Chains A and B, each alone.
Chain A
């Protein structure tokens, strides 16, 4: 968000710089000692201060509401993780999914795709079936929390979309997940 503030203040500076230009003063004389003078924005300092303060209230801290970044930010995670060869939801996964369901309740136009993923220690086709199971487990839970089933599609990527390229327990645990991706963002209802 700081970036946004910076951008806004940068815009302000630019605008004020533009506003200050109508003084096409002594062009020929300045040529010899030009550089130092052109870059001084002094007189506009006050204006800058004023505008910087305003957006702090208008823009909440965090991603833009209704976006996939916001979904992830608010839910705590856009992924839930599974045990080896498992597709049942852990307590932690349920908590994340409750938050996801809340968000989906708030942004009722949003549509999500749940992608099921598996680690590399299974064979390709079995893992596709396992990924489908995981995606469906997430969908079923979200639906149980009141999200309309038509707003959630599921897809399996099997072991084709690892997020950690390692070949160790930690990487495998990361790669056994279901990823909720916001396909169509939501406006507030």
Chain B
């Protein structure tokens, strides 16, 4: 398969062969990743819908009774992660012919070819004392007869899910050439009560919906939590992750900051009015948000270091929902200065305002992709709501990924390939839930949550 490197045309012609041997295809692409323009990669993962790559994931080997269950669960979590991405199909364990007893020996590739596995994940767990696990894995290319990746990770037993997510990310990266998103978290709003008396509380869960818990005990109305893109050092070896959100606990909506690990929180600034729609800058040092003065909302930026606030827009219209480009140089925001809510873009200092959206309907809630290439938004038109994306620089190339009574508030996966959003049903028994959709729009799934849920925000990959 190490055929000579050829320009992009060949790739398209190879697509049939690629479909037959999808793993080879993705390996092929990943090898080209360094030399090809980004656009070529996007055709493979984003615009095209590749056949899911069939992979085999037997239960991990366990050498101690205490790790038997984890060994099974580990394989199950990794399988669920990969399946959910839509890029992989995990083959039924009952069809596996070879039962490996030691992952340090090569698998019998022929046995795996029989069931059409393109890749095999072998793993084992070694218990190194009562409170320590060592997890080893090897990822095999069944058709090239070679190991693609192999790593050893150590953790405490109660932290095994994170190891499973890390391994999922290694596999995703090795087979697609792009960073994964499994070892990450989602902050969201847990909803309860009837529609006319909703209780909305701050909550967090793993990216796969596990480990859901409340982050703020006595909250009745909290909205729009968002992560800082960076982890901050607290002391020698401690890292914390910050979020910002809106709470009405002072009687009006105001922006709060909170450290997830410590629970420490603060009210942002000392503003007399309402502050809404907060987001961090890419370096985590600033917050951008809207402040309401005399009923009019304008966009401001707050510097956490100097605690100074700078006003960026002075328009008489609503200016809300600002979102930084990942390089920190531009801001996309929502304004009705043209008569209806549309997306606008400006430089980080507030200059050079340009309208970005020109399609039918109302455009709101923009979110700049962490890759920088796309802006996701909510569009409402003719009684329907859509999550869509457009090119960040031009506003062109609009693609609507979803369609329902009420879809809103897109947030990006750390690799910019998947979007989470809120979907709410209509009527008196309306219920909100979190959904995910990939950039093809074909892989649309509900994210499991313990109860009704809304306003998801996706964290960066955990350290």
Within 8 A of A (CB), among B363-384: 364-365, 378, 380
Bound-state Cα–Cα, A169 to B240, Å: 46
Interface flag for B393 (CB, 8 Å) = no
Interface flag for B99 (CB, 8 Å) = no
Contact A165 B196 (CB under 8 A): yes
Shortest distance in angstroms between B143's beta carbon and chain A's nearest beta carbon? 47
Shortest distance in angstroms between A176's beta carbon and chain B's nearest beta carbon? 15
Shortest distance in angstroms between B34's beta carbon and chain A's nearest beta carbon? 40
Bound-state Cα–Cα, A125 to B408, Å: 10
Contact B274 A132 (CB under 8 A): yes
**Given A137-B295, A160-B198, A125 and B426 touching (CB < 8 A)?**
no
Contact B292 A129 (CB under 8 A): yes
Shortest distance in angstroms between A121's beta carbon and chain B's nearest beta carbon? 7
Contact A167 B430 (CB under 8 A): yes
Shortest distance in angstroms between B279's beta carbon and chain A's nearest beta carbon? 10
Contact B290 A126 (CB under 8 A): no
**Given A165-B430, A166-B427, A133 and B318 touching (CB < 8 A)?**
yes
From B248, B296, B409, A124 is in contact (CB under 8 Å) with B409
From A128, A130, A140, B253 is in contact (CB under 8 Å) with A128
A residues in contact with B200, CB < 8 Å = 160
Shortest distance in angstroms between A139's beta carbon and chain B's nearest beta carbon? 8
> What residue in chain A is nearest B320 (Cβ atoms)?
A129
Bound-state Cα–Cα, A167 to B405, Å: 10
Contact A125 B296 (CB under 8 A): no
**Given A123-B378, A155-B253, A129 and B318 touching (CB < 8 A)?**
yes
Contact A155 B364 (CB under 8 A): no
With contacts defined as CB atoms under 8 Å apart, how many contacts are there between chain A and chain B in the complex?
115
Interface flag for A55 (CB, 8 Å) = no
Q: Which are the 9 A-B pairs with shortest beta-carbon distances?
A: A136-B295, A167-B426, A165-B195, A165-B428, A123-B364, A125-B277, A129-B297, A129-B318, A132-B292
Interface flag for B171 (CB, 8 Å) = no
Bound-state Cα–Cα, A139 to B248, Å: 20
Contact A122 B364 (CB under 8 A): yes
**Given A133-B295, A155-B252, A124 and B365 touching (CB < 8 A)?**
yes
Contact B294 A136 (CB under 8 A): yes
Contact A128 B277 (CB under 8 A): yes
Q: CB within 8 Å of A: which residues of B?
A: 194-196, 198, 200, 221, 223-224, 246, 248, 251-253, 274, 276-277, 290, 292, 294-297, 318-321, 334, 336, 340-341, 362, 364-365, 378, 380, 405-406, 408-409, 424, 426-428, 430, 455
Bound-state Cα–Cα, A133 to B334, Å: 15
> What residue in chain A is nearest B427 (Cβ atoms)?
A167
Bound-state Cα–Cα, A185 to B274, Å: 24
From A121, A125, A133, B276 is in contact (CB under 8 Å) with A125
Interface flag for A53 (CB, 8 Å) = no
> What residue in chain A is nearest B322 (Cβ atoms)?
A125
Contact B318 A120 (CB under 8 A): no
Bound-state Cα–Cα, A133 to B427, Å: 26
> What residue in chain B is nearest A133 (Cβ atoms)?
B295
**Given A129-B318, A165-B196, A167-B405, A124 and B292 touching (CB < 8 A)?**
no
Shortest distance in angstroms between B88's beta carbon and chain A's nearest beta carbon? 33
Bound-state Cα–Cα, A133 to B317, Å: 10
B residues in contact with A165, CB < 8 Å = 194-196, 427-428, 430
**Can you add 5 more A-B contacts, CB < 8 Å, to A132-B295, A133-B295?**
A128-B274, A158-B223, A163-B196, A164-B196, A167-B426
> What residue in chain B is nearest A120 (Cβ atoms)?
B406
Shortest distance in angstroms between A155's beta carbon and chain B's nearest beta carbon? 4
Within 8 A of B (CB), among A131-151: 132-133, 135-137, 139-140
B residues in contact with A153, CB < 8 Å = 251-252
Interface flag for A156 (CB, 8 Å) = yes
Contact B253 A126 (CB under 8 A): no
Shortest distance in angstroms between A14's beta carbon and chain B's nearest beta carbon? 37
**Given A132-B274, A163-B196, A167-B426, A156 and B292 touching (CB < 8 A)?**
yes
Bound-state Cα–Cα, A19 to B246, Å: 60
A residues in contact with B365, CB < 8 Å = 123-126
Contact A126 B341 (CB under 8 A): yes
B residues in contact with A155, CB < 8 Å = 248, 251-253, 274
Interface flag for A105 (CB, 8 Å) = no
Interface flag for A154 (CB, 8 Å) = yes
